Structure 1
């Protein structure tokens, strides 16, 4: 038995559980990054759940089975063996749960069975880098199917009565804690100081579901104690995103 623990990833997607489940399963061919992650490489043509198995087909008709469904309970859970490019008898196990939360669905992926690999720790480390890219693509497709995402820019400026650098002020730790909470919730896209204006910074937040700007304003003004305690003022600007790259979720 391997001592390497299961890998667990969580992401909130802007869709109801039934839509999120459907996109993950019947829609896998629309979001799986075959160009980067496939058995057939440049010859990869498609991937789909077919009759209880996950099958990749090359553009020349070759087939590679990635895994077999072991549990199918829509819209709450799916589980399947996992062995892309490997024999079925040396498979891991992937379990995916879908739970309704405010504004969308919490998708929890658990990957276990590392003892089937020659180097369990190395295999886990590889998937630790790969699953965030995969789930980022999935989240984008789920948002398209589920009706949207709310984006906002938070412009932080040091208050007029702040002396010296904001980084030296003890209240700055409250701002870092706020960013940490947004990151843990899967809402933080990017944050950092502006390079051409001392004491100013920009934060980009993304919440699943349309029409959630009021919630972002509440978070920016009440959850960030550095704003409440007077270190920063914050201006919240709604942002209509028309183009984005693949999201990576820690």
Structure 2
């Protein structure tokens, strides 16, 4: 497994090469998100009980806490297994439960076959839609503990 991450003014780009077919990588990234997601990364009070993806365009990315409260923090924009999964990131600079009408930046994950497995590339962009303080969102998801750690944990879950 090799990982690479870069951040510029407009996007966070992270990638990992994994020894798995694109179909399996896509399945673990989406349906298996609860197995690899950083447990401390949640917006509700309490502990993260479960996190998931509704597998269709327009579906929710959601979390449930240990009290049984559920919130939507993203929406599936592209559902094209095993090639592309894109979603809106509705969590803004306050890192709280997003409002129902929250604007979302975009996360696009592509799964490209290689000779030895799959190149998984993640691009998170469009941060400016979060309004004042959007740089904090970019900085958080682009830090080593953000998407780079997430992709390492995803690769380990494979």
TM-score by length of 2: 0.81
Q: Which residue of 2 aligns with 1:121?
A: 135
Question: SS of 1:86's equivalent?
Answer: coil
Larger radius of gyration: 1
User: Shift of the alpha carbon at 1:119?
Assistant: 1.9
Q: Which residue of 1 aligns with 2:3?
A: none
Question: SS of 1:75's equivalent?
Answer: coil
User: Shift of the alpha carbon at 1:41?
Assistant: 5.0
Q: Does 1:141 align with 2:157?
A: yes
Q: Which residue of 1 aligns with 2:94?
A: none
Question: SS of 2:123's equivalent?
Answer: strand
Question: SS of 1:90's equivalent?
Answer: coil
Q: 1:1-250 to 2 correspondence within 5 Å? A: 4-34=9-39, 36-50=40-54, 52-84=59-91, 85-87=97-99, 88-117=101-130, 118-129=132-143, 130-142=146-158
Counting helix residues as a fraction of each chain, which structure ranks higher?
A: 1
Distance in 1 of aligned mates of 2:38 and 2:32: 13
TM-score by length of 1: 0.53
Tell me how many residue pairs correspond in the alignment. 139
Kindly provide the CA deviation profile for residues 39-92 of structure 1, in whole angstroms up to 9, marking residues without a partner as x.
125421000113611110112210111111011100000111112432342211
Kindly provide the CA deviation profile for residues 77-128 of structure 1, in whole angstroms up to 9, marking residues without a partner as x.
0111112432342211110000011211100001011112322323211111
Instruction: Please list every run of 5 or more consecutive structure 2 residues that lacks an aligned counterpart in the other structure.
Output: 1-7, 92-96
- Alpha-carbon RMSD across the aligned residues, in angstroms, is 1.7
Q: RCO greater where, 1 or 2, for CA within 8 Å and sep 6 or more? A: 2
